[in-house]
Amino acid sequence: MYITERIAAELKDETHAALITGDISRRYVSGFSSSAGMVFVTKNKSYLIIDGRYFEKAEQQAKGCEVLLLTDLRKQLYAIIEEHGIEVVSIESKTVTVSELEDYKKLFNTLTVDASSWLSVTIERMRIIKSEEEILKIEAAQRIAEAAFSKLITSIRVGMTEKQVASVLNFYMMDLGADGISFDTIAASGVNSACPHAVPTDKPLQNGEFLTLDFGAVVDGYHSDMTRTVVIGKPDDEMKNMYNAVWGANTDALKAVRADITGKLLDNVARSTLDAWGYEKYFTHGLGHGVGLEIHESPNVSPKSPFTLREGMVITIEPGAYIPHKCGVRIEDMVVVTSDGCLNLTKTPKTLIYI
């Protein structure tokens, strides 16, 4: 069943329609990526209205909807509205701005504009469970990221800057077939690794330091996400202890993942392990998040998570410990939640690598 058909099934009746304009939502429901256009869903038929820049490709790639070349939006929409007897149009409350809402009210001045959360919540509920096709794309992106990491490890040298490390890793991902990078790659060494979202700097790599690498690739719109922390030279005993604590938290959380566990409880599993090692107070972010068409999407896994995990969700498991002004460690895997556990999409070993 096409996504548009699933949305149509959620419409209240024949007079109800959905207008989808957000870039990510439009990509999700139509299967076509563009910076413009809209999908209009009715009970019986769906339409992708798009301008000449994308029309030909949209005809080839869009799924579950008739592709219309944008000429006169008002006339085209009202022709559809008349044909299907539409009286209510729901819009995406989470992506529509206040000014856009006013424009839609003027555009649909003879109709009721539903600006409630209904459409955004409906799309999010669908997106949160990944199809087999989506998982395959995420996995393909992950394989590229891992291959790039393997190549990078043989290229890292003392004296390279964090910026150079990040640039080389990005190049390898693109060279191996990525459509893009999932986010700005993090390469943080020494004291900079104590910042979870550090930005690569001109700081050179030095012996006796951690180097945290957080990165991902994109394939056909779908993201991957992984983190590995390596050591330049040899670690001291405290660094080894810290790394093993985070590794233990990652391992214990992976064992606890399953459908029906809450995000709060899963986060607490990792925190309890870190607490046993004496590092819980240095774990300053949530355990994980959903991954898909966006690098951060529902569900979140944190002390305040409102979610209960369900089969088919794709989430990260990324415990960390960050000692201010000293160093930090993070180990991140990406998994598919199953009925009785999880499928770990991250195959790169977690044994501490010495550069």
Predicted local confidence at residue 273, as pLDDT: 98
By DSSP bridging, strand 66-69 and strand 46-50 are parallel
Residue 119 corresponds to which tokens in the numbers above?
A: 């459409």
Burial class (CB in 10 A: 0-12, 13-18, 19+), 192: buried
Q: Which CATH number describes the domain made up of 132-344?
A: 3.90.230.10
Quote the tokens at residue 82: 């008349």
Helix axes 118-127, 23-30, angle to 10 degrees: 60
The CATH topology of domain 3-127 is Creatine Amidinohydrolase; Chain A, domain 1 (3.40.350)
Name residues of the chain where pLDDT drops below 50: none
Helices (H) and strands (E) in the chain, counts: 10, 19
For the chain, which residues make up each domain, given as ranges? 3-127, 132-344
**Cα torsion at 20, 26, 29, 34 (round to 10°)?**
150
The pTM of the full predicted model, rounded to 2 decimals, is 0.95
pLDDT at 229: 98
pLDDT in tens, 188-219: 999 999 999 999 999 999 999 999 999 999 99
Q: What is the pLDDT of residues 228-259, one digit of tens each?
A: 999 999 999 999 999 999 999 999 999 999 99
User: Can 3-127 and 132-344 be said to share one CATH topology?
Assistant: no
CA pair distance 272, 244, nearest whole angstrom:
14
Give the pLDDT of residue 154.
95
* pLDDT-above-70 percentage for the chain: 100
Token reading at 84: 């299907």
Residue 227 confidence (pLDDT) = 98
Query: How many angstroms separate the CA atoms of 215 and 143, rounded?
Result: 12
Contact present, 198 and 320 (Cβ < 8 Å):
no
Label residue 68 exposed, middle or buried (CB < 10 Å: 0-12, 13-18, 19+).
Answer: buried
